[in-house]
């Protein structure tokens, strides 16, 4: 592993009003590493992910992504330029896909390239087609999102993020809004990315998948990281009673 981590988060706090959602979490992600975050709803795992690209503004703490370091303190607004630099190195995939409904599939994929990176349109289209092909949806390039299935929407959303060529992909429960029969196609795409060596942070409830693609798993509860470790060990033999408590009922119904 590299000496310098790709992502280093130190002492991250997040308050929503008087609700202390993240209570000083620290973690790192190395280049080519896949970090999986698990935990109950409201544990803070999604918030933690969203703090990494400043969709939520951290209340306090330091976020380093690549060469950009942003220190956050209460009452101090981070610089817009730094936030942009962080966002350009991270690709975000949402639970609800959030495709732009007024744009066709290809327009969705090239929006960031043309508007943010100012790439010429023909070059951006070639670029976008490459990533649409990667998620297996090139033939849908000219349809509007409303005509896609949930799984297809999510794959387009992944292609849209990949087209920006980020250093790390952030997945926020990418399959939670999908019908069961459509989950597989999305997981396959993510799995392939993992094999290719894409650095990723994934928030998920799919424990089998987590064990499959994760290099490291982290269990969060009440805004702190309770336990982290290698997936096979952690799922088989969690150390902390709280982790055990969380995983027990899941293991009962699923073979991990």
Question: 10 Å Cβ neighbour count for 249?
Answer: 9
**Which CB, 111 or 228, lies closer to other proteins?**
111
Instruction: Please identify, among the stretches 62-70, 108-116, 123-131, 134-142, the one whose residues bind other proteins according to the rule CB under 8 A.
Output: 108-116
Q: Write out the binding residues for other proteins, residues 198-227 only, by CB under 8 A.
A: none
Query: Length of the chain in residues, anyone?
Result: 256
Q: CA 254 to CA 35: how far, in whole Å?
A: 21
Q: CA 180 to CA 76: how far, in whole Å?
A: 44
Q: CA 97 to CA 137: how far, in whole Å?
A: 15
Tell me how far, at minimum, the Cβ of 31 lies from other proteins, in Å. Answer: 21
Write each residue from 64 to 103 as x if it is in contact with other proteins (CB under 8 A), else as -, in one continuous string: ----------------x---x--xx-xxx-x-x-xxxxxx
CA geometry: angle 146, 93, 68, nearest 5 deg: 145
Left, alpha or beta for 78 (phi > 0: left; psi -120 to 50: alpha)?
Answer: beta
Instruction: Please identify, among the stretches 5-13, 32-40, 142-150, 195-203, the one whose residues bind other proteins according to the rule CB under 8 A.
Output: 142-150
> Applying CB under 8 A, which of residues 43, 46, 47, 53 lies at the interface with other proteins?
53
The H or E element containing residue 152 is helix 150-163
Instruction: Please identify, among the stretches 3-11, 21-29, 160-168, 184-192, the one whose residues bind other proteins according to the rule CB under 8 A.
Output: 160-168
Where on the chain is the footprint of other proteins (CB under 8 A)? 53, 55, 80, 84, 87-88, 90-92, 94, 96, 98-104, 111-112, 115-117, 144, 146-147, 157, 160-161, 164
């Amino acid at each position: 592993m590299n000496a310098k981590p790709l992502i280093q988060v130190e002492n991250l706090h997040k308050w929503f009003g008087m609700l202390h959602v993240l209570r000083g979490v620290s973690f790192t992600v190395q280049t080519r590493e896949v970090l999986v975050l698990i935990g109950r709803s409201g544990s803070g795992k999604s918030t933690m992910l969203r703090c990494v690209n400043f969709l939520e503004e951290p209340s306090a703490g330091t976020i380093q992504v690549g060469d950009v370091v942003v220190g956050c303190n209460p009452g101090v607004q981070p610089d817009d330029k730094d936030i942009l630099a962080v966002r350009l190195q991270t690709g975000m995939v949402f639970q609800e896909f959030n495709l732009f409904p007024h744009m066709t599939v290809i327009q969705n994929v090239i929006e960031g390239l043309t508007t943010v990176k100012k790439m010429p349109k023909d070059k951006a289209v070639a670029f976008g087609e490459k990533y649409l092909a990667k998620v297996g949806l090139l033939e849908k390039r000219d349809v509007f999102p409303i005509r896609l299935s949930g799984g297809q929407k999510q794959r387009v959303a992944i292609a849209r993020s990949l087209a920006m060529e980020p250093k790390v992909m952030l997945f926020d429960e990418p399959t939670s809004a999908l019908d069961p029969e459509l989950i597989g196609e999305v997981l396959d795409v993510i799995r392939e990315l993992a094999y290719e060596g894409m650095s990723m942070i994934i928030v998920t409830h799919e424990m089998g998948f987590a064990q499959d693609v994760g290099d490291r798993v982290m269990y969060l509860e009440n805004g702190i990281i309770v336990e982290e470790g290698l997936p096979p060990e952690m799922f088989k033999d969690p150390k902390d009673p709280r982790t055990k408590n969380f995983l027990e009922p899941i293991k009962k119904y699923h073979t991990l």
